[in-house]
Amino acid sequence: MSSMVLTMYRSRETRLGLILLTVVVFAALAAPVLAPFDPGAVDPNARLLPPGSVHLLGTDSVGRDILSRLIYGGRLSLTVGLLAVLISALFGTFVGCMSGYFGGWLEAVSGWLIDVQLSFPFLLLAIFLLGALGGGTVAVVLVLALGTWVNYARIVRAQVLSIKNLGYVEAAHASGAGVLRIIGVHILPNTLSPICVVASFSMAQAILTEAGLSFLGVGLDPSTPSWGTMLNDGRDYLLSAWWIATMPGIAIGLTVYGVTQLGEGLRELLDPRGRR
């Protein structure tokens, strides 16, 4: 395990991504300790303060400390992104694997579902569904998962199609291995690296989409701080108090960069040929 981390640490970009993510995750976990102010505390006397010595990143229109809200907001944004990625990866991989391995009507149905999903503007669908479901964290996670599962399904299906014709799968089949063993031992592990790459990009995409939905006001509950709702808060003050929208923007950017780099590193790590 330690050698694996070491391998990842060797690439400069991956190292930077790893450090960034560690900082973000650590800050989110230790929010109550780290945050200098209560993220919800309104201070009418400290409205729209620029970054300074008391409020390091300034305050918003009702005088809440932006740094504290960023730290707390990370909790929600990261959780939502991670959950969405997990759900969509599991579902998409399952669908892709089944349709790739068994083909037939399974493949036809899932192919049709994927086509429908891809041909429908996702944001429109998300706004419609969130409107119908009434928003909230669970709804946002599900909608985000819905937006990305096709990525896994398509890539896993393609991988399975090529892997199932390789010699080692035929050898396993010929020596009496059952379907579960063939899929679980021989096929799925070999699709891991593309899944990881897709997962890292989807995580980034999920964080961005969550921000976008919250920005549009159909996402998470505006009273709980998330990076998206903070962006939304700063929309009206872009010219007068730039820091309100910029700070969460930077946080999103750095996190997305970190996740993407980590994905790259994972991909290289998981390729058994690349390990030295």
Partner 1 sequence: MSGNILELEGLCIEVGAVGQRRQVVSDVSFHVARGETLGIVGESGSGKTLTILSLLRLLPPGASARAMHARFEGRELFELAPAALRAVRGREVGIVFQDPLTALNPVLNVGRQITEVLRRHLGLKGGAARLRAVELLAKVGIPDPALRLGQFPHEFSGGMRQRVTIAMALAIEPRLLIADEPTTALDVTVQAEIVSLIQGLQREQGLSVIWVTHDLALLARLADRVLVMAGGRVVEEAPAARLFAAPEHAYSRSLLANLRHEPNLRPQAPIPAASGAHAPSGIPSPAGGATDILMQARDLTVTFRRRSFIPLKAPPRPVQALRGVNLDVRRGETLALVGESGSGKSTLARALLRTVAATAGSIDFDGRNITQLAGRELRTLRRRFQMVFQDPFSSLNPRRSVGAAIAEPLVVHGIVRGQALRDRVRDCLTMVGLDAAIAARRPHEFSGGQRQRICIARAIACQPDLIVADEALSALDVSLQAQILDLFQDLKTRFSLTYLFISHDLSVVRRIADRVAVMYLGQVVELAPAAALFAAPQHPYTEALLAAVPVPEPLAERARVHTPLRGEPPSPAAPPAGCAFHTRCPRALARCRTEPPILRESTPGRLVACHLFV
CA atoms of 194 and 263, how far apart (whole Å) = 10
Task: Tell me the C-alpha distance between 206 and 152, whole Å.
Answer: 14
As a whole number of angstroms, the distance between CA 75 and CA 150 comes to 26
Record the tokens describing residue 53, joined without a space: 């010595």
At its nearest, how many Å lie between partner 1 and the CB of residue 180?
A: 11
Q: Does 171 bind partner 1 (CB under 8 A)?
A: yes
- Reduce the DSSP state of residue 68 to 3 states and report it: helix
For partner 1, the binding residue among 35, 125, 177, 197 (CB under 8 A) is: 177
Residues in 247-276 at the binding interface with partner 1, rule: CB under 8 A: 272-273
Give the total of residues touching partner 1 (CB under 8 A). 19
Among the candidate windows 22-30, 50-58, 181-189, 253-261, which touches partner 1 by CB under 8 A? 181-189
Q: Which of the ranges 8-16, 93-101, 167-175, 227-235 carries the binding residues for partner 1, by CB under 8 A? A: 167-175
Q: Is 4 in the site for partner 1 (CB under 8 A)?
A: no
Q: What angle do CA 34, 35, 40 make, to 5 degrees?
A: 155
CA distances from 210 to 216, 229, 256 (A): 10, 9, 12
Classify the phi-psi angles of 224: left when phi > 0, otherwise alpha if psi is within -120 to 50, otherwise beta: beta
Binding mask 197-236 for partner 1 (x = CB under 8 A): ----------------------------------------
Tell me how far, at minimum, the Cβ of 189 lies from partner 1, in Å: 5
Interacting residues with partner 1 (CB under 8 A): 166-168, 170-178, 181, 185-186, 189-190, 272-273
